[in-house]
């Protein structure tokens, strides 16, 4: 097989899988906001159990999305270095901003949500 075809197949597979994790994570976070809001307003332990169950699936999806995103960034630099040379000035800055926001900001709040479950006030 041609190496260009292999690189394209590898990138297409990684991008497709990453996109699926992103879509599922966006749907789950919307569900979690509703479930945790219902638990906060009613105090019903059933809502808390649902929030924790779907929250575990959210965390798994989030970690897998980060893993595929990191692989995609390496593929941009290694498989598509010629493209990166031409469009890097335009494409590099938004990619860096997305990486910083997704990894640092979202990970900070996700860490507070995971590890501060019974340590932070209920409203936080």
Helices and strands per DSSP (H, E), number in the chain: 4, 0
Tens digits of residue pLDDT in 71-107: 888 887 787 778 777 887 887 788 788 778 877 888 8
Q: What is the pLDDT of residue 36?
A: 92
pTM summary value:
0.79
What whole-number percentage of the chain has pLDDT above 70? 98
CB distance 26 to 62 below 8 Å = no
CA–CA gap between residue 12 and residue 15 (Å, rounded)? 5
> What is the structure's pLDDT at 78?
80
Select from 54, 48, 2, 7 the least CA-distant residue to 27.
54
What is the Cα gyration radius of the chain?
19
Q: First vs last Cα of the chain: how many Å apart? A: 54
Cβ neighbours of residue 123 closer than 8 Å, sequence gap 6 or more: 40
Residue spans of the domains in the chain: they are: 3-115
- Rounded to whole angstroms, the Cα distance separating 104 from 7 reads 29
């Amino acid at each position: 097989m041609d190496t260009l075809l292999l690189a394209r197949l590898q990138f297409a597979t990684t991008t497709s899988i990453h996109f699926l994790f992103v879509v599922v994570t966006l749907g789950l976070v919307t569900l979690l906001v509703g479930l945790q809001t219902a638990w906060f307003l009613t105090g019903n332990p059933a809502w808390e159990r649902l929030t924790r169950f779907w929250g575990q699936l959210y965390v798994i999806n989030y970690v897998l999305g980060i893993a595929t995103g990191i692989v995609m960034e390496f593929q941009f630099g290694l498989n598509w270095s010629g493209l990166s040379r031409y469009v890097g000035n335009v494409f590099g800055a938004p990619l860096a901003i997305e990486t910083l926001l997704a990894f640092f900001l979202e990970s900070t709040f996700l860490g507070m949500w995971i590890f501060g479950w019974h340590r932070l006030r209920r409203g936080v």
